[in-house]
Structures are given as C-alpha cells and as structure tokens.
Structure 1
Amino acid sequence: MIRIHVFVEGQTEETFVKEILCEHLQQKDIYLNPILVRTSSTNKGGVVSYAKIKPQLNRKCLEDDSAFVTTMFDLYRLPNDFPGSSSIPSTNDPFQKAEYLEQQMSADIKHQNFLPNLLVHEFEGLLYSNPQAFLVWFDQSIVDSLQAERNLFLSPEHINEGPTTAPSKQIIRCCLGYEKPLHGSLIAMDIGLDTIRQQCQHFNQWLTRLENISGGNG
C-alpha cells in the first residue's frame, strides 16, 4: 500500500481528508494520513509562519522515504516568509500563481517524496462547487446569493483572495451562524468529490497526481 502524509491547516481540512479523500484513495490501495500542522509546542492549525512549517515537512519526508508527503494549504493569506512570496509573477491567473509557489516550496524542501499543493484560493472555495448543498443548513435566499456570487467567476477556484471577498469571507457574510468546523466538511460531503473535481481544476490535478502514484520516489 502506498502511504501519503497530508499536512493540513485545520480541523475542517483534516475531516475532509479523513471522510472524503481517504475513502476514495483507499480504493486505489493508497492510504492517506492527515497531519494538522503545529504552530507551537502546544498549538495546532494554521500556516502563520513558513519557518514553523518547513521543519515539520522536512522531518516527515526524512522519517520514512518510502512514503510521500503533500500539503493542503490555502493560497489565500500565505505568510510573507513563504518561498516565492516576494517574487510572484504578475498574473491574474490563480493557477499560475499557485503553481509558481508550489514550485518554490518544492525547491525549498528538496525531497523527492514531497508533493506540494495549495488550495486555490482556500478550502471554502471548494464549497462553491455546488451552492445548493448549503440548503441543508441555510434558507433558499442564502443559497441564491451564494449561487449568484459563484456565477460571477469562471470557476470556484477563481473566487478571489481579497480581504473581504475571499470565499470564506463571502460565506460568513451570507450565512449567519456558519461555523467552518461544523458546516465546512459536511457541506463538502453533500457536494461530493466528483462535483468538486469537475468544478475545481487545480484541486483535481493534485488529486489525480496522488491517484497516479505507483510507488517509489523517483
């Protein structure tokens, strides 16, 4: 069995990996192990400093070079010390931006079993794959508002990273009472992995890469 350690930012992403991605990849004899990043000796969650994250990634890559290590970090609000953050190409294409930063992170980690990945722009963007899934928790007018926002963009991953217009900010503004740890992973489950993959190009490319791992790190 192929083993992949997935570093995540928070409990919602951890649940998403456990409840959705693990089950899917187990069918391909691939075992995922979600790991919540540490921000201090006592606290977990959030990528507030790359300097605190890098040793964790390096250590896991070295602990078992027969396994793979990947990430599920938000492109939105990456710390200023993240590799490549000071030299991002001038582009309106979110995929080019994410791929550039992933390449920079890969060059910085330097392990063959490391597979960098950033969510474009954040986990909540995946939930725009089907705003109708919010109807389980919120009324139709809210769903209509979310759908209207989704319709303004080419894809859920194009919903931008502005401080007031990022996916999470828009959902919180529309959905009074929205709690990411409670609602986020449950809504993602209702949407389903197939729909998320169809709507979210960069996410799908990452998952396809994991699916196609055949063993070995060469």
Structure 2
Amino acid sequence: MIRVNIFVEGQTEETFVRELLYGYFQEKNIYLNPILVKTSTTRKGGVVSYAKIKPQLHRKCLEDKTAFVTTMFDMYALPNDFPGSGSGLKTSDPFQKAEHLEQEMGKDIGHDNFIPNLLVHEFEGLLYSNPQAFAAWFDESVASILQDERNAFPSPEHINDNPLTAPSKRIRNCCNGYDKPLHGSLLAIDIGLDTIRQECQHFNRWLLRLESIIPVL
C-alpha cells in the first residue's frame, strides 16, 4: 500500500482528509495520514511561520523514503517567509500563483517524495462548490447570498484573497454562528468529493497527482 502523509493546518482539514479523502484513496490502495502542523512545542495548527513548518516536512520526508509527504495549506495569508512569496510574481491568475509557490516550496524542501500543494485560496473556497448545502445548516437566504457570490467568479478557487472578501470572511459575514471546525467538514461531506473536484480544478489536480503516485521500491 502507498502511504501519503498530509500536513494540514487545523482540525477542519484533518477531518476533511479522514472523512472525504481517506476512504476514496483506500480503495485505490493509497493510505492517507493527516498530520497537524506544530506551531510550537505545545501547540498545533496554522501556518504562522514557514521556518517552523519546514523542519517538520523535512523530517517526515527523511523518516521513510518509501512514503510520500504532501501539504494542504491555504494560499491565503501565507507567512512572509514562505518560498517564492517575495519573488515579485505579478499575476492575477490564482492558479499560476499557486503553482509558482508550490514549485518554490518543492525546491526548498528538496525531496523526491515531497508533493507540495496549496488550497486556492483557502479551505472555505471549496465550500463554494455548492452553496446550496448551507441551507440545511443555516437557511435559504444564506445559501442564496453565497450562490450569488459564487456566480460572480469563474470558479470557487477564483474567489479572492482580500482580507475583507476571502471565502472565509464572506461565509462568516452571512452565516451567523458559522464554526469552521464544526460546519466546515460537515458542509464538505454534504457537498461531496465529486462536486468539489468538478468545481475546483487546482484541488482536483492535486488529487490526480496523488492517484498517479508510483510506489518507491
């Protein structure tokens, strides 16, 4: 069985991997192991400093070279010390930006069993794959507002990363009581992996990459 360690930012992403991705990949003989990044000796979660994340990725890649290591980090609000963030890349294409940052992170980690990945722009963007799912947890008016916002962009992954209008900010503005650890994974489960993959091409490309892994002998 192929083993893939997925470093995630928080409990929501950890549950997402366990509830939506684990079973799907297990059928393909690929075992996924979500790992919460450590921000200090006592705390876990969040990418507040790349300098704190890099050693964790490096050690995991060296720990077992027959296993793979990948990431599920938000591109939104990456720390300033993230590889490629200061290179002056000028593009309005979120996919080009994500690919550039992923390539730079891959070069910085420098291991063949490392697969860099960023969510465009953040986890909540995936939830815009089907805004109607919010109606069951909030109400129809919330679903309608989110659907109108989704319709204003080419895809959920194009919803911008401005501090006031990033996907998470939009959802919190209209969903009174939205709790990411509680609602995030439940909404994703209701939406379903197939729909998310159809709507979010960069996310889907990452899953295709994992599906195409060739075991290290």
Task: Give the conservation status (yes or no) of the 8 Å contact 1:14–1:36.
Answer: yes
State how 1:3-82 maps to structure 2 within 5 Å: 3-82=3-82
Say yes or no: does 1:208 pair with 2:204: no
State how 1:22-171 maps to structure 2 within 5 Å: 22-171=22-171
One-letter amino acid of the structure 1 residue matched with residue 41 of structure 2: S
Give the ranges of 4+ consecutive aligned residues of structure 1 lying more than 3 Å apart after TM superposition. Answer: none
Partner of 1:5, secondary structure, is strand
Task: Give the conservation status (yes or no) of the 8 Å contact 1:88–1:101.
Answer: no
Structure 2 equivalent of residue 2 of structure 1: 2
Distance 1:54 1:69 in 2: 12
Distance 2:135 2:145 in 1: 12
One-letter amino acid of the structure 1 residue matched with residue 135 of structure 2: L
Distance 2:216 2:20 in 1: 25
Distance 2:132 2:160 in 1: 20
Deviations 1:101-120 (A, max 9, x none): 00000000000000000000
Task: Give the conservation status (yes or no) of the 8 Å contact 1:88–1:100.
Answer: no
Structure 1, unmatched stretches of 5+, are none
Per the normalisation by structure 2, the TM-score is: 0.99
Distance 1:184 1:26 in 2: 23
Root mean square deviation, CA, Å: 0.7
Structure 2, unmatched stretches of 5+, are none
One-letter amino acid of the structure 1 residue matched with residue 199 of structure 2: Q
One-letter amino acid of the structure 2 residue matched with residue 186 of structure 1: L
One-letter amino acid of the structure 1 residue matched with residue 215 of structure 2: G
Distance 1:212 1:54 in 2: 25
Partner of 2:35, secondary structure, is strand
Deviations 1:144-177 (A, max 9, x none): 0000000000000000000010000000001010
Shift in Å at residue 88 of structure 1? 4.2
Identity of aligned residues (%): 73
Distance 2:161 2:24 in 1: 29
Distance 1:196 1:214 in 2: 25
Shift in Å at residue 214 of structure 1? 2.4
Partner of 1:148, secondary structure, is helix
